[in-house]
Amino acid sequence: MTVVGIDDSDSRERGMCTTYVAARIAERLRREGAEVSRILLVRLNPAVKYKTRGNAALAIHTDCASDVVFSYARELLEELAETDDERTNPGLVAADHDPTAVPEAVGRFALEAIRDHLEIDDAAGLIDECGYRSWSAGNGRGRIGALAAVGAWAALSPRIEWTYEYISYREPERWGTPREVDAESVFAAAAEGYPDVWDTVDRGEGEAVCVPHTPGPILHGIRGDDPDAVRTVARRIDCEPVASSRLFVTNQGTDVHLRNARDADEEIVDGWAYRVDGRVVSPPETRRGGHVFVTLELESADADESDDSSEGGENGRRLECAAFEPTKRFRDRVRALRVGDRITACGEVARGTLKLEKFAVRDLVRIERVTPACPDCDRTMESAGRDQGYRCRTCKTTAPGKVERPLERALEGGWYEVPPCARRHVAKPLIRGGFDGQVHPER
């Protein structure tokens, strides 16, 4: 077996897409009589600044000899990669073994490429150590993604349930022109395929999220849990002629980028993505641009629920969380939080702020303490002076202190998420299941 990893072939302005290069390599291998057992589409750390769009790297698993695949892949990368763009730095790594047989260090490298930031030298050193064949152009950065793609099958198979994307490509002469896709047929196909097929459309925004707006070769990409289901949805879409299509096995929709911040004292690192437990300590605030911010005081994941020592929010570590404008209706969920609520928040931390991808309501404040109303005239009482309770000036009634009133809440317990139009590739849609609690999926 041979595993070939490739990355970094496209440019933001000029189009192209590394999935297309991988599909072309696979096509050539099949033409030459080799078997391609799968193509992996691996989403790496979404916080990496070098990415063009979705930080994807690709791996092809085949029975073809590694030197042969290597030369095909190099030829196609040289032909297709947009190397005139100085930000495009293609990389290629070929490993002469089964995808499950990667050295432990390569598996670790793959996981780090998803959760952390790596250097070109880290990749180059490990490629040498493993005796892998490699090629790169430009500054060689593409070798990071290419090596991560080689290690991904072994590293991720024990951690995630792989998902699928069925990508249909445009005829090359149409690249860069508006896509002809019948939106009604997309919505109908998406409804038929749901919930095995997800993130095809955003019904709230009326958007066909499976159709990209960038100049590249992709016509549409259909994502889901089942290979037949994604294929069926793709075929139901009425659109311009499809030049070719390909099924990819992916880590999209898996949350594999998140790490648990178990201990409230743990350092929170910029560029890493977390699952944190905390208590809301400031009322949600909508700032300029429509972005909504809320501050949490972090709690240890195994904190005793009855332990109120962290209440008051004076001493604990605080973390600002944000739901940015593009997360649309999700912001209403965040605005519905109140001081005292306990939640689990998930997202990437950038410049000290966690960019919310989803959150779980663990405990809602259900009672508020308010100034009492006069039992005779029903008007709100006034303070009778410091520590002297309340009184009604007109009726002369008194009350010893504030009274408790049940609070109407617009939230329930369980998980809330950003809508499909704002979903990061690697973030897990709630409809996929496996969450600890009730879910409120967006579609």
Contact residues for ligand ATP, defined by CB under 6 A: 7-10, 17-18, 44-45, 48, 50-56, 89, 91, 113, 116-118, 141-142, 144-145
Peptide bond into 195 cis (omega under 30): yes
Least Å distance, CB 77 to ligand ATP, is 11
Rounded Cα distance between 19 and 261, Å, is 33
Closer Cβ to ligand ATP, 117 or 236, answer by number = 117
List % helix, strand, coil for the chain (3-state, nearest 5).
25, 30, 45
Minimum distance, C-beta of residue 22 to ligand ATP, in the bound complex (Å): 10
Q: How far is the CB of 94 from ligand ATP (least distance, A)?
A: 16
Q: In terms of Cα–Cα distance, which of 338, 342, 345, 339 is closest to 359?
A: 345
How many CA atoms lie within 13 Å of 339's alpha carbon, on the beta-carbon side?
A: 9
d(CA 286, CA 72): 53
The span from the CA of 246 to the CA of 229, in Å, is 14
Query: What minimum distance in Å lies between the beta carbon of 424 and ligand ATP?
Result: 12
Alpha carbon 420 to its chain centroid, in Å, reads 10
Shortest spacing between CB 315 and ligand ATP, in angstroms? 35
Considering beta carbons, is residue 113 or 323 the nearer one to ligand ATP?
Answer: 113
Which are the contacts of 254, defined by CB distance < 8 A and separation ≥ 6? 156, 160, 161, 162, 163, 426, 428
Q: Strands 258-260, 273-280: parallel, antiparallel or unpaired by DSSP?
A: parallel
Which residue, 133 or 291, is less far from ligand ATP as judged by CB? 133
Residue 219 or 364 having the CB closest to ligand ATP: 219
Q: Which residue's CB is nearer to ligand ATP, number 142 or number 284? A: 142
Q: Which H or E element spans position 125?
A: helix 120-130
57 vs 247, beta carbon nearer ligand ATP: 57
E-assigned strand segments in 48-198: 56-62, 91-95, 133-136, 163-170, 197-198
| Residue written as token pair 């590694």 | 66
Residue closest to ligand ATP (Cβ): 145
> Are the beta carbons of 358 and 427 closer than 8 angstroms?
yes
In angstroms, give the least distance from the CB of 254 to ligand ATP.
Answer: 16
State in angstroms the smallest separation of the CB of 123 from ligand ATP. Answer: 8
Considering beta carbons, is residue 152 or 392 the nearer one to ligand ATP? 152
What's the closest the beta carbon of residue 56 comes to ligand ATP, in angstroms?
Answer: 4
Between residues 9 and 344, which has the closer beta carbon with respect to ligand ATP? Answer: 9
Residue closer to ligand ATP (CB basis): 113 or 422: 113
Nearer to ligand ATP, 38 or 51 (CB): 51
**Dmax (CA) of the chain:** 96
List, in sequence order, every residue forming a beta bridge with 38; answer none if it has no partner: 61
Among 207, 197, 181, 169, CA closest to 80: 169
Least distance CB 87 / ligand ATP (angstroms)? 7
**368 conformational bin, left if phi > 0, alpha if psi -120 to 50, beta if neither:** beta
CB of 287 to ligand ATP, least distance (A): 29
Residue 59: φ, ψ to 5°: -135, 140
- Distance (Å, rounded) from C-alpha 418 to C-alpha 322? 12
